[in-house]
Amino acid sequence: MQCSDRTEELKMKWWQKLQPVAAELIILALVLAAVLAANLGHAATAGGPAQGYGLKIFRVESGLYPFVHVYMRTFDQEMNPLVNLNVLNIGVMVEGRAYDPRKKQYVIQPLRNREEATRSILVLDTNKMLKGQDFEAMIRAAARFIDAKRPQDQVALIALDNSGEGYTVLSNFDREPGILGRRLADLQPRGDKTRLYDGVAAAMQMAGGAVGGDSSSEVEYIVSTSIIVLGSGRDDDSAISRSDLMTRISSLKIPVPIYSLCFTGPEGKDQRNLQALSKNSFGKYYSIGGAYDTITRNIEDIQNIMQSDYVLTFRAYIPVDGGRHNVKIGVEYPTGSGIMYYDASVFEAIEPPTFPRIIEAQQKLDKAIPALKDEELYLKNPYAPAAVPGGKS
């Protein structure tokens, strides 16, 4: 009996010693489960996210180095942007080391509050089958999109028609609503076929040459391009197949989201064509059908998504070496959740030319993000290895 009591006593002491460790392991398991869920949610975003949220860095500019601009899109499980992000939601990591947000070495703004421009390509179906209310509603939707854009944003128009290529470029990129409106007014539903995939491929080709500009100036600098498809979703014998088009979309270095507005009836094969284009490109699908009263709301939603991209500007401290360096941007949403999901990219440590406009822009950024003098830039993790013990590899 005494032996049994002694055994129980030893078990109790052993458990008391392990309790703190067990608690830590439980916490770690919960955190890992939450992180895994967030990662799985993000991994599924290309086909429609099932849970959580994500972010996608689509452009990094070092033209004003040491100030680096990171352009990124955020989205929840419904592909809507995360709202009201601030520096407390953001983590910046350069070459594996995390910036201390208390040192105020980075700022974040939504694109709508800045002067960089976006470009959009409207792809409009002119098939005879859309004649009547559907076609009129489609033209109104295109006109509403043009009216809702910012003055600096540019729009191009492509019509899917009877031409040899299956489409006609009605207008190259233009900022003037009046000019674009006149091009729309001339459009009539006279097409015998709809070569949807050929038209979208042409829009992607336009988008490929659209992003760029003078990174020394925020004005007229094009940071992103989107495609908006308005039609039935049917495809009649395009030269490019759906699978080839999907491969092109997936392999784009800079994502070009495709937003689709379907103006035909119940869900079917044609509608699924548009759904697939949108989901595979980080875009969004809208079913209009006969619900024409939803057009304005859907167009405003697309404009809101495009203008809710975020621009994060951070000050880098890597000496100019002409090399490419790793940067990770993380988002914790909501603040205090304890889970931060990162996306990675690279920037260049370069010395910009001393053009007056560049110097002026750098001076403004230097006032907004003053250089640290004798302060520690990075957060310190006490368990991060400083060096390999004893010089061993």
Does domain 117-307 fall under CATH 3.40.50.410? My reply is yes
Supply the pLDDT for residue 22: 42
Supply the pLDDT for residue 6: 53
pLDDT tens digit string along 198-237?
A: 999 999 999 987 544 433 344 457 889 999 999 989 999 8
- Sign for the pseudo-dihedral over CA of 29, 34, 35, 36: positive
Nearest in space to 79 (alpha carbons), one of 280, 220, 269: 280
Instruction: Tell me, yes or no, if the pTM score tops 0.75.
Output: yes
pLDDT tens digit string along 85-121?
A: 999 999 999 999 999 999 999 999 999 989 899 999 9
Supply the pLDDT for residue 16: 54
Where do the structural domains in the chain lie, given as residue ranges? 61-112+313-372, 117-307
Cβ atoms of 157 and 176 closer than 8 Å = no
How many of the other CB atoms lie within 10 Å of CB of 249?
23
Supply the pLDDT for residue 293: 85
- Which residue bears the tokens 């509403």? 144
Supply the pLDDT for residue 225: 93
Which residue ranges in the chain fall short of pLDDT 50? Answer: 1-3, 7, 10-11, 14-15, 17-51, 211-219, 391, 393
Cβ atoms of 271 and 287 closer than 8 Å = yes
- Which residue bears the tokens 């601030």? 86
